Structure 1
Amino acid sequence: MELHLDLVGGLAGDMFIAALLDLFPEHEGGLRDSLARTGGLLAGVTARLAPHNDGILAGRRFLVERPGGAGGRHDHVDWSRIRDGLEASSLDPAVRGHAIAIFRLLAGAEARVHGVPVETVTFHEVGAWDSIADIVGAAHLIAAAGASRWTVGAIPLGSGRVRTAHGPLPVPAPATALLLQGFAVIDDGVGGERVTPTGAAILRHLFGDATRPAPQPRILGATGIGFGTRILAGLSNCVRVLRFDPVEQASGFDTDAVLVVECEIDDQSGEELALALDRLRAHPAVLDVVQAPVFGKKGRMMAHLRLLARPEARDEVLRLCFAETTTIGLRYSIQARAVLPRRMVEVAAGGRTMRVKAVDRPGGRTAKAEADDVADLDGHAARKARRRAAEKAVEES
């Protein structure tokens, strides 16, 4: 199962929770239990899920309340106190781990903004009890959802100023801007704070270095919508979560995606190009590199290169191609491919161990012995006989 975040109005912790509970209402009870397990951090805090309709879309809102509380906006809590409280709590280890990781990202961003050591960071708005509840709730749902992959669309940047304990700050707030580095953003013309520091920390926790995942065929299963408290002009202040389920493969083969990079080279010697291709093949994200002779303009002989790699390593692979070859332009695309199940099997043949690649095809199993394992034998007939013996052993197994 994959989950995609569509940040229509932006993202805050309560919006993230509301959207996921709208999609997975069965997790509401478990979330309440996690909040209760935080001990003194959330003493007296209650949470509820409420239906909401802004006249455009219908969804849910996540409301956190504490008797006598007014949002906790003036709380000043040391990062070390929150961390110690979470570590001492009876939270499920997975939930505790997600919550501490999100807070650690926030603490690191605040430390960089203010030029202080992380251990001395004091949270203001983020240290409020409602923000702590949002992060613990988000951590619970991340663990409970168990998504194999998360994706996110372009993030609305917002504009203007936001009031904080440090005074008015530009939007996005400095800590938010640090946490969103590397993500695709968009200016949709709607101002205000669109992504809060908590929302940005959740995104950074889910996506790490913000690399884009490979596109794959999938089935849209269901959606959930979570609203925030602000009202945006002409736009629903909500986040939408889309659940995607894997496509069932009944054909006997799997599908995935591969990065294809191509170029032509006419100004690099054969000796240098061979070295360059060896270095490209050695990269762990590169699946294969082939070259073929072609004729270019003015009848010049050139080398056509085609490289297959893992899509998530696109930028690194492109940089390597530019560094190792003389090309000044690369064509690249993400293409779907079908792959047959395969495995490497070791068998005994002729008194030695041979590696054989076994492939399950629609018409039956085929096997191909590794040529390197017979390279020391003299004569084509001897090598062929040894390979065939090993392949037959695998085909009949």
Structure 2
Amino acid sequence: MTRSPGAGLHLHLDPLGGAAGDMFVAAMLDAFPELEPRVMADVIAILPPEAGQAELSRGQSGGLAVRRFALLPNRRGEEAKPRGHQHEHDHGHGHGHHHHATTYHALRTRIETAPLSQGTAAAAAAILHHIALAEAHVHDMPLDEVHFHELADWDALMDVTAAGSICAALEGATWSLTPLPLGGGLVRTAHGALPVPTPATARILQGYEWHDDGIGGERVTPTGAAILAHVTGGTAGTRRGGRLRAVGMGAGTRDLDDRPNILRVTAFAASSGAGADRIVQLACDLDDMTGEEIAAAADALRAHPGVADLVLVSLLGKKGRPATRMELMVYPAAEAAVAAAIFDLTSSLGLRRTELDRLILPRSATISVEGIRVKRADRPSGATAKAESDDLVHAPTLRARRQLAHRTETG
């Protein structure tokens, strides 16, 4: 397997103003201008002529030079968006006239059949899948019946495709994310007024850290949330150092009172091979819990976004009683929250704490077009991929399971 194009890169996202699809695309193309021809070609391939033209422009936000990504209507009266349309970052949902079928199946088919650059369709479809799963859960409906009200206009579908193009071009990079701004108030949607963050956004980014900076409005949109979840693989990740290669800033359309309305990306080039990282180990011995209770606690702790790994070890405790040692690898920033969870979920009265240095390979997590999570690692001899075992359980036979795993790992 050949080396991934983004191997050795670590990309850190700072949603100072918020996160929306257009802000992500603008920030990434500001940091990696060499990707602009590829991304624009994919956008042209996904949009019909009457939709308008994509524009990557320069401007300012809060006194900082930024890039903006937008869809401009055609000059001769063919409107790309209905009158009164508000930008996604302002209201999150396009809910004027639908210019194309907006079911999950229709939009995914459009992406998969368009003449896009290598890898773009898979990444864009995976981003779309995040939104579909959230909408299906929020509205309690089958996946294929989901209608994407937030993708009712061409510009939002353009953002999904452009983001997919960028992710494919930088496959193999690792990502991290600082806490997200909560915002506040209500947002107008096709389902009426909804609280911010909207139910779909909150569902997609469940488990991520949020903070209230006192600024209201919709700060993270469903499309922005789906992109963040796709690139980070379901966890905010650990910010890594290295040689600072590039900085990019993508702006939304709102003006914020006390700060630039930007999503910033900082790109670091790591040294080849394994990189150094620091992690905290928390451990305790349990001799007064049943096996079922320990298993339930372990499952809950493994689901915690601050837990990198958890193992259970059988041993003989004091007085020769059988016991179980629980050892957790915890991201330093989440240590207090994880420790509190351990005390709530187990009978432990104390924890052993050790700070560890570790060597880790550059890695990333993606979702295939079939909705299967794939873990990728950049090894000295080349990149490897491993399909998530839990996502293969629906395969009817061992042969089908192995074929599905192979297809997702090499696709």
TM-score tier by shorter-chain length is 0.5 to 0.7
Q: Out of 238, 242, 256, which is 1:218 matched to?
A: 242
| TM-superposition CA deviations, 1:122-141 (whole Å, max 9, x none) | 22232210001011011111
Distance 1:198 1:159 in 2: 18
- Stretch moving more, 90-99 or 306-315: 306-315
* CA contact 2:62–2:259 (8 Å) conserved in 1: no
Decide which structure has the larger Cα Rg and report it. 1
Distance 2:126 2:281 in 1: 35
Code of the residue aligned with 1:328 in structure 2: it is: L
Q: Out of 235, 239, 260, which is 2:263 matched to?
A: 239
Output the TM-score relative to the length of structure 2: 0.65
- Which aligned pairs between 1:257-296 and structure 2 lie closer than 5 A? 257-262=278-283, 285=309
Q: Out of 57, 70, 73, which is 2:64 matched to?
A: 57
Distance 1:39 1:127 in 2: 13
User: CA shift at 1:31, angstroms?
Assistant: 0.7
> What is residue 157 of structure 1 aligned with on the other side?
182
Q: Cα gap change, 1:247/1:331 in structure 2, threshold over 3 Å: closer, same or farther?
A: farther
- Number of aligned residue pairs: 315
> What is residue 10 of structure 1 aligned with on the other side?
18
> What is residue 71 of structure 1 aligned with on the other side?
81
Instruction: Please give the secondary structure, in 2, of the residue aligned with 1:122.
Output: coil
Distance 1:189 1:323 in 2: 31
> What is residue 30 of structure 1 aligned with on the other side?
38
Distance 2:165 2:52 in 1: 16
Q: Which has the higher contact order (CA 8 A, sep 6+)?
A: 2
> What is residue 130 of structure 2 aligned with on the other side?
105
Distance 1:55 1:258 in 2: 36
User: CA shift at 1:3, angstroms?
Assistant: 0.4
Distance 1:187 1:290 in 2: 43
User: CA shift at 1:220, angstroms?
Assistant: 2.8
User: CA shift at 1:148, angstroms?
Assistant: 2.1
Give the RMSD, CA atoms, in angstroms.
Answer: 4.0
Code of the residue aligned with 2:120 in structure 1: it is: V
Distance 2:196 2:346 in 1: 43
Code of the residue aligned with 1:204 in structure 2: it is: A
Check if 1:329 corresponds to 2:350.
Answer: yes
User: CA shift at 1:106, angstroms?
Assistant: 1.1
Question: Which sections of structure 2, spanning at least 5 residues, go unmatched?
Answer: 1-8, 83-93, 303-307, 318-323, 361-411
Q: Percent identity?
A: 37
Instruction: Please give the secondary structure, in 1, of the residue aligned with 2:243.
Output: strand
User: CA shift at 1:234, angstroms?
Assistant: 1.7
> What is residue 136 of structure 1 aligned with on the other side?
161
Instruction: Please give the secondary structure, in 1, of the residue aligned with 2:214.
Output: coil
Instruction: Please give the secondary structure, in 2, of the residue aligned with 1:37.
Output: helix
Q: Cα gap change, 1:216/1:226 in structure 2, threshold over 3 Å: closer, same or farther?
A: closer
Q: Cα gap change, 1:153/1:328 in structure 2, threshold over 3 Å: closer, same or farther?
A: same
Code of the residue aligned with 1:54 in structure 2: it is: S
Distance 2:153 2:231 in 1: 23
* CA contact 1:220–1:242 (8 Å) conserved in 2: yes
Q: Cα gap change, 1:187/1:285 in structure 2, threshold over 3 Å: closer, same or farther?
A: closer
Q: Cα gap change, 1:126/1:44 in structure 2, threshold over 3 Å: closer, same or farther?
A: closer
- Stretch moving more, 239-248 or 26-35: 239-248
Distance 1:7 1:39 in 2: 28
- Which aligned pairs between 1:299-378 and structure 2 lie closer than 5 A? 310-311=329-330, 327-332=348-353, 334-337=355-358
